[in-house]
A = this chain, B = another copy of it.
Amino acid sequence: MKLLEERILKDGQVFPGNILKVDSFLNHQIDVALLNKMGEEIKRLYGDCGVNKILTIEASGIGIACITAQFFNCPVLFAKKTKTKNIAADVYKTVVASFTHGVDYEVIVSKNFLNEGDRVLIIDDFLAEGNALLGLIDLCEQAGASVAGCAIAIEKGFQSGAQKVMAKGVRVESLAIVESMNDGKITFTQR
């Protein structure tokens, strides 16, 4: 998606350790008008897939998921990273290792909101090693829900996440795929 690539080039910052910081428009401060264009593109990609629920993971995926859900006329479900006393014991659980934070955490969704027969579109802001997506797919499998695919804002194409997810037979669409960030210069690729 040209608009997103241009924005990454304009406002993204590269830090040591292959960290791409896009917190001025995507995952801290959020440019909602950009998200709207991204939602429109995701609708173009997945509009004919019978999606009836969008699944994401807190926190950075929630904005994109909610804006995109407007194009699909469906609810959003966001997986939670810790068990709060407001959530019943009746949950599907999985464990996700975080690339950004360097820790494992438990991720849950209530069994009430993910069901056999659901046709799920998984949305997240970043795809690197694919751990979050694999966790969300696991939650769908536990629920007997089918996964229409994954829609990602920014994929780090030099990491193995997309391959791992596609190896499970799940479609992956990334609006921008970073090919490399060597010497702070960002280049993109297509799949």
Contact = CB atoms under 8 A, between A and B. Distances in A.
B75 A30 contact: yes
Interface of A: 15, 19, 21, 23-25, 28-33, 35-36, 58-59, 62-63, 65-67, 69-70, 73-78, 80, 82, 84-87, 100-102, 109-110, 112-113
Given A84-B100, A86-B100, A100-B84, A29 B75 contact: yes
Contacts of A24: 112-113
A67 B30 CA distance: 11
List the 5 closest A-B pairs by CB distance, nearest first. Answer: A58-B59, A59-B59, A63-B66, A62-B62, A30-B76
A28 to B, nearest CB: 6
Contacts of A62: 30, 59, 62-63, 66
